[in-house]
Amino acid sequence: MARGGRVPWGGLVTARKSPLFWGVVLAVALVLISLGNLHLGAASQVDLGATLRGGLAALGLGEPLPGTLQTIAELRWFRLLTSIGVGAALALSGGLLQGIFRNQLASPSIIGVTSGASLGASLMILFVSGSVGGFFQTESMAGMVPLLVSLAAFGGAALSTAIVTAFATTGGRISVPTLLLVGIALNAIVGGAIAAIQRFAVEEADLMRALMTWTFGRLDDRSGFHVVTIWVGIAVAALVIPKVAVELDLFAAGEEDAHGLGVNTGRVKWLSLGAAALCAALAVSVAGQIGFVGLIVPHILRSLTGTSHRSLLWLCLLGGPVLLCGAELLQRSFLGHSPLPPGVVMSLLGGPFFLVLLLRNRSSVEAW
């Protein structure tokens, strides 16, 4: 393994262009993909033009569509805006984790951050359903359920991040083999815990459906609450980027070297880990567990633009939505109105991608 117990950056050999060029490319791609997603839906009578008019009407800038067509148009907008937010959050979380752990194999799904958030959300769903107790069944508490699920997801993500960081750090250095092993163990434990939770829900169809949503992800039937939650969370996390981007570049040479150059390593680590956990938790709280976006996007962007976090982290906010919304558009184009859950699609894409990364870096990973 390379010095410092980290896997060195690597990836596809590409003709690198400026971050501004790729930012424009990603922005144009996201607009086109978004228009495609707004056009597709179960109601064929609501085309792209009608969906755009419905969106303007929701903002008070036009006449609403007749009957239920306005509701359908708004649901498509909620689905799109949630997808963009979730993709951006997961990609930014992955970029921050890869920077702070100094290796390209770290991502919120690989090291157990998203699964921890999913466990926290699942536990809260179990409690609010009344399966464990009836405290949350009062009418006054019902409106607090979405907020409580989001808080529980953040708690699970934060705890998972703390566990992984503690176990993988030895003598101030983070061991990649230990990081991956702890992530595997954490994902297995959480998987068993979620299965146990589902045991309590087998006879309650609505509860079981809600738990399955958090296990495999769901982008349909989202609401304004989900959109506001994920977008506010991204805005808060993005405030961290200017405070850690340059420092994360210095981290690449090792934490001790960064400290020697005057970097407050503790502050950078906790700001980065906190923002990464917040992004992963909110993504899970509004859309369920969707893996590998945070692995794929930073790696590809790094191959296209270089390793500087000053551009990489901002581009993640565009690259994540392009990947997630693009996958949604492709599968809806081929599978029609019965698409696979987004977590399943990302696992089918991300699993092979992760194996390729391992193969490309096998010479630099020491034998265990």
Predicted local distance difference test score (pLDDT) of residue 101: 81
Strand partners of residue 169: 174
- Distance, in Å, from the CA atom of 201 to the CA atom of 195, rounded to the nearest integer, reads 10
- From residue 103, give the alpha-carbon distance in Å to each of 61, 113, 232, 263: 48, 16, 28, 19
* Cβ neighbours of 143 (radius 10 Å): 8
Predicted local distance difference test score (pLDDT) of residue 273: 85
Domain spans in the chain, listed from the N-terminal domain onward:
19-364
Convert the chain into a string of H (helix), E (strand) and C (coil): CECCCECCCCCCCCCCCCHHHHHHHHHHHHHHHHHHHHHCCCCCCCCHHHHHHHHHHHCCCCCCCCCCHHHHHHHHHHHHHHHHHHHHHHHHHHHHHHHHHCCCCCCCCCCCHHHHHHHHHHHHHHHHCCCCCCHHHCHHHHCCHHHHHHHHHHHHHHHHHHHHHHHHEECCEECHHHHHHHHHHHHHHHHHHHHHHHHCCCCCHHHHHHHHHHHHCCCCCCCHHHHHHHHHHHHHHHCCHHHHHHHHHHHCCCHHHHHHCCCCHHHHHHHHHHHHHHHHHHHHHHHCCCCCHHHHHHHHHHHHHCCCHHHHHHHHHHHHHHHHHHHHHHHHHHHCCCCCCHHHHHHHHHHHHHHHHHHHCHHHCCCC
Return the structure tokens found at 209: 């459906």
Predicted local distance difference test score (pLDDT) of residue 88: 97
Q: Are strands 173-174 and 169-170 parallel, antiparallel or unpaired?
A: antiparallel
Please identify which residue in the block is written with the tokens 């299965």: 195
Task: Decide if 218 contacts 328 (C-beta within 8 A).
Answer: no
Predicted local distance difference test score (pLDDT) of residue 134: 47
pLDDT by 10-residue block (mean), the chain, 368 residues: 45 64 95 92 77 89 86 92 96 92 81 86 78 51 72 85 82 72 88 82 70 80 89 95 92 76 82 88 87 92 90 96 94 80 88 82 54
Strand partners of residue 6: 2
Q: Taken in order 52, 54, 56, 58, is the CA torsion positive or negative?
A: negative
List the one residue out of 96, 103, 201, 204 whose CA is nearest residue 157: 96
Predicted local distance difference test score (pLDDT) of residue 108: 87
CATH of 19-364, one of 1.10.3470.10, 3.30.565.10, 3.40.50.10210, 3.40.1010.10: 1.10.3470.10
Task: Decide if 294 contacts 96 (C-beta within 8 A).
Answer: no
* Cβ neighbours of 58 (radius 10 Å): 18
- Distance, in Å, from the CA atom of 133 to the CA atom of 162, rounded to the nearest integer, reads 29
* Cβ neighbours of 142 (radius 10 Å): 11
Global confidence as pTM: 0.86
- Distance, in Å, from the CA atom of 307 to the CA atom of 248, rounded to the nearest integer, reads 10
- Distance, in Å, from the CA atom of 183 to the CA atom of 176, rounded to the nearest integer, reads 10
